[in-house]
Structure 1
Amino acid sequence: MTTTSVLFPIMITFIFLFTTITASQPITFPTLTIHTTTMSSNDTVVVVTPTLSASYFVEAQIGLPRFPVKLALSTSIPTTWVQWVECEVCLDVPSKYMNFNPSDGFQLVAGDDAKYCVPPVAKTATSADLCWYDLGFSQGILGNDTFSLVSPASAPSPPPSLKINHFIFGLGKQNLVRFGARSPIVGQLGLGKGHPSSTLSQLNISRFSYCLPPSNSNHQNTTATLEFGPKAGLTTAYYYNTPIIEGPPDHPFDYYLNLTAIAVDNASVYTPSEQRGGEPGFVIDVGATVTVLYKEAYIPMKNAVMEYLSSHFGLYPVYPSPPEYDPPAYELCYYNEDLESITTLTYPNISFHFEGGAVLQLPESQAFHNFVDELQTCLVMIPQTGTEPSRLGAPQQRGWRFTYDLLHSELSFSPNGC
């Protein structure tokens, strides 16, 4: 192999920064308690753009004059935030001028604002009348300004933009999350549920939908979109439905699903009876750049894939078993030379099954990836080593349209919905 760095997932959504922000820094913006937000339309569509690191972003404008920012989609946090020009721990962006510099119209959220400055996202500073937010990987102050989601001028037939007055968002002072080296992304658009500062609560909507651009080169001209409003996602003839269930108290913003099975080559290799303690343990997360599964689910899935490729084609992985030290991020990889020598090669189909009969079957391009520099093709899912829930990341969501209906606690998804 020429390098191994490409094999490592670049960012997993939850990276926690255990530091404390003090209120001693001078803040010169006016403070105002805001309780109302307006939206120009009940139905809005904006373009979604991919990055090389498997993050997906939308373009936004903040304040007057309009300050352009690119924000990664995240369904695991409720609150939108953007990197502040006065950041102390900063994202690796191409230019410091991409960091948000508030204009005169920016106003702080008051520390005694009982609507927005509430745990577990925000809290009042002890020595100043300010509202501090803490999302773990981003910390700073809450404020408000005019906020617009827009589609790039280069997009074919750009859909209409969305404008929100007095939009509550965070000024990121300490930001540990990473979107890749020199990424243009300077924050996140929070699409998680369960907090009054959430984007969805401020829009006063209960339905949104997105479709991520497929990785297949034949679909490069596809316009992938993020939709808000009552008609979001109603563009496909058929779709699967599955309930959004309540997660554990320590993950109130995530969208949990009831996984009933994981199948390889149409045979079940994992069932919910193996989930830890019977607690819900499967989250759909558009902000995660890699799918992470409990070891109890990952190991039998990996073994079934190995068995399929060995029994059908006589193929054996680069590492028959992971080495004791310094294993690759993706544990199951094959040399491209071996794969290309078999003209009749087919990969096993991998599918996730959910309550209600919903089935997410992964195309070959979503389950396996060819790392050209490493001369290997890998199963692009990894085992969970900690206590976090299993997460279905963005790479395995490509080419499907996912629609979240919070009013009915239901997730719908359909193939080829971009």
Structure 2
Amino acid sequence: LIIHTITAYSNDTAVIVTPTLSTYYFVEVRIGLPRVDAKYCIPLSANQPHQHIHVGKTLASGFPSLTIHTTTVSSNDTAIAVMPTLSAYYFVEARIGLPRFRVKLALSTSTPTTWVQSADCVVCLDVPSKSMNFDPADGFEPVLGDDSKYCVPPVAKTATLGDPCRYVLGFSQGILGNDTFSLVSPPSTSSPPPSLEINHFIFGVGKQNMVNFGAHSPIVGQLGLGKGHPSSTLSQLNISRFSYCLPPSNSNHQNTTATLEFGPKAGLTTAYYYNTPIVEGPPDNPFDYYINLIEIAINNASVYTPSKQRERGEPGFVIDVGATVTLLYKEAYIRVKDAVMEYLSSNFGLYPVYPSRPVSKPPIYELCYYNQDLESITTLTYPNISFHFEGGAVLQLPESQAFHNFVDELQTCLVMIPRTGTEPSRLGASQQRGWRFTYDILQSELSFAPNGC
């Protein structure tokens, strides 16, 4: 990937995010001994004098595996690459322990605590090889159950003196502990890969992991970017602002770099952006980033206004880079689906596949059209779908992010899914591509800008 221009300043951290073949983004970390002296910045080679990074009391360097045209960072700044998988997850690479054990972690803004699958897992992720799982026997130090700082609800369950602290994240359960942890760039043939070393980093080693990253996915855990717990990655780094950009999937953006940045100036290199407040979620869900959805529009005509549904108990709207696609509150989904069907039928005489076949497990998309019907209309255009948020912020989805062509199934589908119950609507990673999202926890503000990669 190519980083064209990334500028960071004092007290900032930029980490390169690497996309997987799916839509999860991951970073690399390192865990274990030897403990790296965190007071010094290791210089790069002479032809890369300005790409070293020093983050607080941690060590980092540039990213020689990428072609960096103009990257300027200063003391307390870091940048790390993000890679997409063939599915809809984005991940970063990390290293843990001694010897350095490389893992791929999916980005998650709904999970505060970073976790990695244990070698002795009972319920395990479907990884290509068991050798990809982390062995906690090498340097991992469990947090004790009576630790009043980290072993606290709702992430961790307190225990008796001397017993290890257990964490429960819903889809992953295991032991909370610490080790040396590094976020790194992909390896380079010309020089060793750089890293951001964090000593005594608190993370989970998962024994029961129920999340589905896809069959034989290389992802073995998550980099937690959620808020609201002492064990969160952000709390441990003492950072209240971060930013990422997931590049578009079309061929015109092959050289676009996905980046994850941390610090007061993260995301500020973007010239134009929308702002909307981050609001408090329900007490039982403090980790997510909730924002106020004002309306959903199709071709600039409002089809759904959530304020009219709040008395029915609508659970809110969340930005979630860890979700592969957008999940909409059922009432909102029905309105969007009906409007798309009406547009395609009235303008082009197109009618959906009924009943729609499941084109992906999971998820199952409800609104699909046969590709041969779509391809027979040379003047075909898809409806514009836009999300309007408090403060005048508007996120308009390009055609490639609202609809997807499933070649093997011979269908093109609206890549949104209805959800019921008390779970909030979630804007997933597939619909975030091509935009830079910046989270400012201190100011309770979310900013996003088009073409931010």
Same fold flag (TM > 0.5): yes
Residue of structure 1 in register with 2:231 after alignment: 197
CA distance in 1, matches of 2:353, 2:231: 47
* SS of aligned partner of 2:87: coil
* SS of aligned partner of 1:52: strand
Computed over aligned residues only, the root mean square deviation of the Cα atoms, in angstroms, reads 2.5
* SS of aligned partner of 1:298: helix
Alignment of 1:210-225 (within 5 A): 210-225=244-259
Query: Aligned-pair distance for 1:232?
Result: 1.1
Most deviating of 95-104 and 202-211: 95-104
Most deviating of 344-353 and 268-277: 268-277
Residue of structure 2 in register with 1:317 after alignment: 352
* SS of aligned partner of 1:304: helix
CA distance in 1, matches of 2:221, 2:272: 34
Mapped contact 1:42–1:228 kept (Cα < 8 A) = no
Query: Aligned-pair distance for 1:296?
Result: 1.2
Structure (1 or 2) with the greater strand fraction: 2
Mapped contact 1:44–1:161 kept (Cα < 8 A) = no
Mapped contact 1:242–1:257 kept (Cα < 8 A) = yes
Alignment of 1:363-378 (within 5 A): 363-378=398-413
Query: Aligned-pair distance for 1:154?
Result: 5.4
Query: Aligned-pair distance for 1:97?
Result: 0.7
CA distance in 1, matches of 2:171, 2:127: 16
Residue of structure 1 in register with 2:209 after alignment: 175
Alignment of 1:272-283 (within 5 A): 272-277=306-311, 281-283=316-318
Mapped contact 1:240–1:414 kept (Cα < 8 A) = yes
Residue of structure 2 in register with 1:188 after alignment: 222
* SS of aligned partner of 1:53: strand
Q: For residue 401 of structure 1, what is the amino acid of its counterpart? A: R
Query: Is 1:70 aligned to residue 104 of structure 2?
Result: yes
Query: Aligned-pair distance for 1:300?
Result: 1.0
Q: For residue 249 of structure 1, what is the amino acid of its counterpart? A: P
Mapped contact 2:144–2:162 kept (Cα < 8 A) = no
Residue of structure 1 in register with 2:58 after alignment: 39
Gaps of 5+ in 1: 1-9, 13-36
Count residues with an aligned counterpart: 383
Of 187, 208, 215, the match for 2:242? 208
Of 411, 415, 418, the match for 1:383? 418
CA distance in 1, matches of 2:170, 2:306: 30
Most deviating of 38-47 and 83-92: 38-47
* SS of aligned partner of 2:401: helix
CA distance in 1, matches of 2:81, 2:23: 22
Q: For 1:215-270, what per-residue CA distance to the aligned partner results, in whole angstroms no more than 9, with x for missing partners?
A: 11211221111111122112211000000000011111000010000000110001
Query: Aligned-pair distance for 1:272?
Result: 2.2
CA distance in 1, matches of 2:277, 2:389: 9
Query: Aligned-pair distance for 1:161?
Result: 3.4
Mapped contact 1:11–1:177 kept (Cα < 8 A) = no
Most deviating of 233-242 and 195-204: 233-242
Query: Aligned-pair distance for 1:61?
Result: 0.6
Query: Aligned-pair distance for 1:187?
Result: 0.4
CA distance in 1, matches of 2:355, 2:143: 56
Mapped contact 1:49–1:213 kept (Cα < 8 A) = no
CA distance in 2, matches of 1:322, 1:212: 29
Query: Aligned-pair distance for 1:156?
Result: 12
The TM-score with structure 2 as length reference comes to 0.80
CA distance in 1, matches of 2:154, 2:147: 14
Gaps of 5+ in 2: 1-21, 25-55, 60-74
Mapped contact 2:242–2:439 kept (Cα < 8 A) = yes
Of 74, 94, 104, the match for 2:128? 94
Q: For 1:339-359, what per-residue CA distance to the aligned partner results, in whole angstroms no more than 9, with x for missing partners?
A: 111111111100000000000
Most deviating of 215-224 and 283-292: 215-224
Alignment of 1:223-302 (within 5 A): 223-277=257-311, 281-302=316-337
* SS of aligned partner of 2:102: strand
Residue of structure 1 in register with 2:187 after alignment: 153
Structure 1 residues 159 and 399: CA distance shift in structure 2, 3 A: farther
Query: Aligned-pair distance for 1:377?
Result: 0.5
Residue of structure 1 in register with 2:384 after alignment: 349
Query: Is 1:55 aligned to residue 89 of structure 2?
Result: yes
Residue of structure 1 in register with 2:34 after alignment: none
Q: For residue 285 of structure 2, what is the amino acid of its counterpart? A: H
Q: For residue 146 of structure 2, what is the amino acid of its counterpart? A: D
Residue of structure 2 in register with 1:28 after alignment: none
Structure 1 residues 158 and 389: CA distance shift in structure 2, 3 A: farther
Structure 1 residues 222 and 385: CA distance shift in structure 2, 3 A: same
* SS of aligned partner of 2:219: coil
Q: For residue 167 of structure 2, what is the amino acid of its counterpart? A: Y
Mapped contact 1:281–1:390 kept (Cα < 8 A) = yes
CA distance in 1, matches of 2:271, 2:285: 33
Mapped contact 2:315–2:425 kept (Cα < 8 A) = no
Mapped contact 2:298–2:383 kept (Cα < 8 A) = yes
Mapped contact 1:265–1:348 kept (Cα < 8 A) = yes
CA distance in 2, matches of 1:290, 1:123: 31
Mapped contact 2:384–2:399 kept (Cα < 8 A) = yes
* SS of aligned partner of 2:347: helix
Residue of structure 1 in register with 2:440 after alignment: 405
Q: For 1:110-139, what per-residue CA distance to the aligned partner results, in whole angstroms no more than 9, with x for missing partners?
A: 211100000010023358521110101110
- Percent identical residues: 84
CA distance in 1, matches of 2:162, 2:137: 22
Query: Aligned-pair distance for 1:279?
Result: 5.8
Query: Aligned-pair distance for 1:331?
Result: 1.1
Q: For 1:296-341, what per-residue CA distance to the aligned partner results, in whole angstroms no more than 9, with x for missing partners?
A: 1111111111111111111111128999xx9x92111111111111
Query: Is 1:111 aligned to residue 159 of structure 2?
Result: no
* SS of aligned partner of 1:51: strand
CA distance in 2, matches of 1:72, 1:299: 30
Q: For residue 144 of structure 2, what is the amino acid of its counterpart? A: A
CA distance in 2, matches of 1:100, 1:351: 42
After TM superposition, what 4+ stretches of structure 1 lie above 3 angstroms from structure 2? 37-41, 125-128, 154-161, 320-323
Query: Aligned-pair distance for 1:385?
Result: 2.6
Structure 1 residues 66 and 273: CA distance shift in structure 2, 3 A: same
Mapped contact 1:148–1:161 kept (Cα < 8 A) = yes
Q: For residue 337 of structure 1, what is the amino acid of its counterpart? A: Q
Residue of structure 1 in register with 2:339 after alignment: 304
Of 413, 430, 433, the match for 1:395? 430
